[in-house]
Amino acid sequence: MTSRRALAALYAAAALLAAGSLLVTFLAGLRERPVALAFGILVAVGEPALARSRLRPGEASPVSGPGLRETAPLGAAGSLSYALLGEHAGHPTHHGVAQVVAVVAAASLLGSVPQLARGQGPVLDHLVRRVLAVGFAAACFQPLYNRGAFDGWSGPAYALLLLALLVLTVLCDAVVAAALARSRTGWPFAPLLRDELRAVPGIGSAVCATGAVMALAVAVVGLWALPVFSVPLLLTQLSLRRYAAVRATYRQTIACLARATEIAGYTPPGHARRVAALSQAVGRDLRLPEPELTVLEYAALMHDIGQLSLVDPVPAGATAGLPAAEQRRIALLGGAVVRQTGVSAQVATVVERQADPYPEQPVAARIVRAVNAYEERVRGSGPDGPLTALEELRLGTGREYAPEVVEALARVVSRSGLTLPAGG
């Protein structure tokens, strides 16, 4: 309930800020219309390349990762540049916070219409972030500039001032993004914020630098600076889209390989997907960084591929009950198959070592092993199946399963609505 209230509060804050700004701008009139129109067009054009890098806020996916959080860098740079614009071709501007937010909100909404029509990605979350970030930047700069607080600033000092304000804005946006993800997924806030902050030195630094340069250039040479400084970010934006498409194809290939054991009758339908989803939730609970979560997802999807080497399938694909030597043989064969597919060597290592003694395993292998055993035990069981499965895993801690992983699994299952006994 708290997460829902937080999500509603963020949406309400952005909606009130946008609606209030539009009303104030409508009543007061639009100042410097050519400037407002130019920046509005730039922001609107920068939004259609929006192709979210995550399937849902906070969800690890093949196109997520440090540096890929902002996939509409041109729209972001244009919005922040307008928020920090103090002059146009040597003449002071007089637009305030309300006009900045109104122009950016209207342009962002217009540019996001194709995504809204196709139902692509969390567009509303994107709009909330854009409005709140631009409102923050404009509120920090416009009132002080209009009162002459920066009259004595020039040259490098003024440029550093703009960069400092942009960095603060990006940090504010990271907090909002993590809060939105926390509200939607229920995952811990700290690792979500850490992942957002890790993305800042990537495309975030390019957005900050371009936004500051745009504001400085328009102040000197006018609106002709916008198309000149937009080209690099536009090319970057197109490159991000192509990269996202490649990564999506990469994940689809892994998903198809993971289904090979299901199609061949070695594992029940959906087993790999369930293990991958639950493994990621446990990884989030243990606060793994996003790159490790991606490796964990891929390894969980392919953890049973070694069963294709068996002459006779294991009943229901339940390898957790096999002798340790047989489990290791299947795991090693699975790792060999993964290495032949061209998937990351880290993924192959996790698959190979999922049957090793847990003190020798990497964290991802510990998670896959425990989650796979839980899923096999709870499959087809009655209402008390999850509780019984967790108790069996707890009895195996210290020998087969890592205690911290089993307790993290218990917390994840508990958040799903079950009542669990106290950990032992």
What pLDDT digit, counting tens, does each position of 183-208 carry? 877 777 887 888 888 877 777 788 88
Indicate if the pLDDT at residue 304 is higher than 90: no
Domain that holds residue 133: 2-248
Sign of CA dihedral 67, 73, 77, 83: negative
pTM above 0.85, yes or no: no
**Would 254 be classed as within a structural domain?**
no
Q: How many domains does the chain contain in total? A: 2
**Comparison of pLDDT for 386 and 102, the residue scoring more:** 102
- Among residues 287, 285, 305, 419, the alpha carbon closest in space to that of 372 is found at 305
Dihedral of CA atoms 96, 99, 102, 108 in degrees, nearest 10, equals: -90
Q: Do 289 and 178 belong together in one domain?
A: no
Asked if residue 396 belongs to a domain, the reply is: yes
pLDDT value for 48: 65
Domain boundary among the residues 248, 268, 292 is at: 248
The residue with greater pLDDT, 121 or 147, is 147
Q: How far apart are CA 251 and CA 230, in angstroms?
A: 32
Q: Cβ-count burial of 398 within 10 angstroms (0-12 exposed, 13-18 middle, 19+ buried)?
A: exposed
Measured CA to CA, the distance from residue 217 to residue 159 in angstroms comes to 11
Final residue of a structural domain among 209, 225, 248: 248
Q: Tokens 């990605």 sit at which residue?
A: 121
- Summarised one tens digit per residue, pLDDT across range 311-321 is 677 776 667 66
Residue 253 lies in a domain: no
Residues forming beta bridges with residue 87, ordered by sequence position: 92
pLDDT in tens, 45-74: 888 654 443 333 333 333 334 334 556 788
Strands 87-88 and 91-92: antiparallel
**Given 248, 278, 307, which residue is the final one in a domain?**
248
| Domain CATH for 311 | 1.10.3210.10
Structural domain includes residue 422: no
Q: What is the DSSP string of 170-234?
A: HHHHHHHHHHHHHHHH---HHHHHHHHHHHIIIIIHHHHHHHHHHHHHHHHH-TTHHHHHHHHHH
Is residue 23 predicted with pLDDT exceeding 60? yes
* Residue 118 pLDDT grade (very low, low, confident, very high; cuts 50, 70, 90): low
Residues 231 and 78: beta-carbon distance below 8 Å:
no
